Structures are given as structure tokens and as C-alpha cells.
């Protein structure tokens, strides 16, 4: 027997397996990391002018050099703050979305996590290249002043954001492609055909993340042999005994 699979609105939503729940946790970690980096970028822009002017006095830089340094820092700071804020919001939405069982959200989470990891790798490469490039004069003084001016809160935001954002994205990317996650998203289709589709009745096992067939119903009782009539309402008494009280509705014995 088959029955009509109800639409997603009527079908109970299965529980997400552990891999999907931990992937959502990884996405939330990435969101917190990018939020930390956004806060650091904004705070750095607000305090950078004083650092640059102090470095200009020590290095004897001109006003034009100061303005160029401030403009470059503001550009990178605004881009970084917007980029980090957008990614923090996207990862937050995906952290809740992957628990809903829609495969399209899973694909988006994998794609965004992969792109974030590539961007992190690119920024790390740029930072290594910048550190390897020797600085002299005003630039060297600005770098030294910026490093010395980092507060404890700024350092915490920078370090935690740098660590949490790639680790959370990598965790989500790995867990969302494991077999339990695949079974969870394949078992909850985004949009079945109009009116549902015919399929065997199945139940969802949250421990394994798979749909299983129910146990077979018990076999019916065997039919009586051909020609056998209903049991007689009267039975003869045992030898030497008495019969049971007669049933007034039973037919008389022959």
C-alpha cells in the first residue's frame, strides 16, 4: 500500500542530525568572528588620525603625506567594516537557515564558507607580503605607533575575529557535506510536485538521519477449510456427567 506524501507545510519537520547542528554552530562562530573584525576596523579608523599625526611629528612628514595616509586608512577601514558587517549578517542568517532542512540553504552556506576561507587566505597572504616589505621614514613610524597604540580590547577583537571567522567557516563547510547531512537535506525536498507524490510510507530516524520503512503488518488469520460450517451451539455431555444448561436460543438436538 502507498499513501500520498503530504506537502511540506503538513509534513512534520524531522530533527536535524548532529552534523547539521554543529555546522550551524560553526556558522555562528564565523558570524561572531566577522563582527569582531568589524568592530576593530571601526575603532581603528576613529583612533588612527592621532596616531598618524604623532608619527608625522616624529618623522618630520609633510601635511600631504599625513592626508594621504589618512585617506588610505579610511578607504581600507570602510571597505573592511562593510565587508565584515555583511558577512556577519550573512553567516547569522545561514546559521539559522541550515536547520530548516532546505538544500538550497545548505548550498549557499557551503559556497559562502568556501569564499570566506579564500578571502581569509588572500588577506593573510597580503599581510605576510606587507610585513616582508621593508618600511622607512614616515611609514615605519606609523606602523610602530599603530602597534604600540593597540589596546587590550582592540587586541582581543582582532585576535578572536582572525581565529573564529576561518575556523567557523571551515567547520561548517566540512560538516555540511558529510553523509548524515546529505541524507537530512535529501529527505526534506524543497518543493514536491503539486498535490504530492506517491511513495511508500516511511518514518524518519533522527539518530541516523535516514528514512526507514515501517515494520510489516501481521499476517491475517488463515481462512477455514471449504465446507466447514459454524461451530454447533450444543455439545454432548461427558460420560457419567451432566450437560451444561441448555441455551434457549440453540436449536434442538437431532
- On whether the pTM is more than 0.75, the answer is no
In a domain, 215, yes or no: no
Q: Is the pLDDT of residue 162 over 50?
A: yes
Residue 223: pLDDT band (50, 70, 90) is low
Distance CA 144, CA 158 (A): 17
Condensed to tens digits (0 to 9), the pLDDT of residues 37-77 reads 999 888 888 888 787 878 777 777 778 888 888 888 888 88
Q: Is the pLDDT of residue 133 over 80?
A: no
What is residue 185's predicted lDDT score, i.e. its pLDDT?
Answer: 87
What is residue 13's predicted lDDT score, i.e. its pLDDT?
Answer: 57
Give mean pLDDT, residues 129-134.
58
64 grid coordinates: 600631504
More confident residue, 165 or 231: 165
What is residue 77's predicted lDDT score, i.e. its pLDDT?
Answer: 85
Condensed to tens digits (0 to 9), the pLDDT of residues 166-206 reads 999 999 999 999 999 988 888 744 444 444 444 455 555 55
Share of the chain above pLDDT 90, in %: 26
More confident residue, 111 or 4: 111
Q: Tell me how many domains the chain contains.
A: 1
In a domain, 244, yes or no: no
What is residue 35's predicted lDDT score, i.e. its pLDDT?
Answer: 94
What is residue 50's predicted lDDT score, i.e. its pLDDT?
Answer: 80
Condensed to tens digits (0 to 9), the pLDDT of residues 234-250 reads 556 666 555 555 555 65
Residue-number span of the structural domain to which 155 is assigned: 14-134+143-186
In a domain, 218, yes or no: no
Phi and psi angles of residue 249, each rounded to the nearest 5 degrees, phi first: -90, -10
In a domain, 29, yes or no: yes
Q: Is the pLDDT of residue 160 over 80?
A: yes
In a domain, 66, yes or no: yes
In a domain, 197, yes or no: no
In a domain, 8, yes or no: no
In a domain, 162, yes or no: yes
Mean pLDDT, the chain, rounded, equals 76
Amino acid at each position: 500500500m502507498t499513501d500520498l506524501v503530504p506537502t511540506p507545510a503538513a509534513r512534520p519537520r524531522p530533527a536535524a542530525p548532529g552534523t547539521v547542528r554543529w555546522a550551524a554552530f560553526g556558522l555562528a562562530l564565523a558570524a561572531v568572528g566577522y563582527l569582531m573584525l568589524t568592530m576593530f576596523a571601526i575603532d581603528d579608523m576613529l583612533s588612527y588620525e592621532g596616531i598618524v599625526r604623532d608619527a608625522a611629528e616624529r618623522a618630520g612628514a609633510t601635511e600631504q603625506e599625513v592626508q594621504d595616509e589618512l585617506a588610505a586608512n579610511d578607504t581600507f577601514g570602510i571597505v573592511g567594516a562593510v565587508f565584515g558587517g555583511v558577512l556577519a549578517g550573512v553567516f547569522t542568517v545561514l546559521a539559522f537557515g541550515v536547520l530548516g532542512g532546505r538544500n538550497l540553504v545548505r548550498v549557499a552556506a557551503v559556497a559562502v564558507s568556501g569564499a570566506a576561507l579564500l578571502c581569509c587566505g588572500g588577506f593573510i597572504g597580503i599581510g605576510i607580503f606587507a610585513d616582508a616589505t621593508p618600511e622607512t621614514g614616515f611609514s615605519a613610524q606609523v606602523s610602530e605607533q599603530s602597534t604600540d597604540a593597540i589596546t587590550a580590547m582592540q587586541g582581543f577583537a582582532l585576535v578572536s575575529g582572525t581565529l573564529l571567522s576561518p575556523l567557523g567557516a571551515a567547520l561548517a563547510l566540512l560538516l555540511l557535506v558529510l553523509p548524515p547531512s546529505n541524507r537530512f537535506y535529501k529527505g526534506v525536498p524543497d518543493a514536491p510536485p503539486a498535490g504530492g507524490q506517491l511513495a511508500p510510507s516511511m518514518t524518519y530516524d533522527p539518530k541516523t538521519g535516514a528514512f526507514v520503512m515501517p515494520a510489516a503488518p501481521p499476517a491475517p488469520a488463515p481462512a477455514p477449510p471449504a465446507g466447514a460450517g459454524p461451530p454447533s451451539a450444543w455439545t454432548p455431555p461427558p460420560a457419567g456427567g451432566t450437560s451444561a444448561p441448555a441455551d434457549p436460543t440453540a436449536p434442538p438436538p437431532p
